[in-house]
Amino acid sequence: MNRIQRIALPVLAICVAFLVPTAPVMAQEEERVPGPLAGIGEDFWRAQPTCWDCHGNMANGRNEDPRSPAGANLRESLMDVATLALVIRCGLPGTPMPYFGGQRAYTDDPATSCYGTTLDTLGAQAPPEGGESMNTRQIDGLAQFLIYQVAGKGPVTKEECVAFYGPTASSCNRWPTEAEVAAEAAAAE
């Protein structure tokens, strides 16, 4: 790796880490109407609890597997659909966020490779490979679902969990009710 690459790669990772979560709120609001693939994304979220290991079953950053790193709280995300799809596809260099784009994510051709670089060039900053590769349709659907259904929704409530997973989902019992959340917010004011 040459001197410029050694300097540029950490800068790239820092820029992505800081810029991705702070995309304009206006872009998020424009994306509030579910995209055509949001249903695919919802089905994928329900069926693939791999995301839950780090982000939690309600995407609030409360990881389900204590051996996994705590993921971002996607409920507070300011990303737009395209940015979130990029993060899912490519991961975040220099962080534990894996990439799920499979062999298509990082290629030997910088013109088609994630962030215009290769895994070899990223070296120790390379994101880990996700457990299961996703195709473009699944990635785009998951991003659409998360931006529409999750981002900006505030604290998780038992009612929201039951509406999503059904009344028999025992994992919903750990969340406070809407009334408890409202009472806590009023007490904080």
Structural domain harbouring 122: 3-154
Q: Total domain count for the chain?
A: 2
CA 164, 167, 170, 176 torsion: positive or negative? positive
φ/ψ bin of 106: left (φ > 0), alpha (ψ from -120 to 50), beta (otherwise): beta
CA 40, 16, 126, 60 torsion: positive or negative? negative
Residue 15, pLDDT above cutoff 70: no
Over residues 120-147, the pLDDT tens digits come to 999 999 999 998 889 999 999 999 999 9
Are 150 and 162 members of one domain? no
Are 107 and 29 members of one domain? yes
The band of 32, judged by pLDDT with boundaries at 50, 70 and 90, is: low
Are 79 and 164 members of one domain? no
Are 159 and 111 members of one domain? no
Are 75 and 58 members of one domain? yes
pLDDT of residue 71: 92
Instruction: Indicate yes or no: pTM above 0.85.
Output: no
Are 172 and 146 members of one domain? no
Are 149 and 162 members of one domain? no
The runs of H, that is alpha helices, within the chain are: 3-19, 25-30, 38-47, 50-55, 81-90, 119-122, 136-145, 158-165, 178-188
pLDDT of residue 111: 86
Are 118 and 40 members of one domain? yes
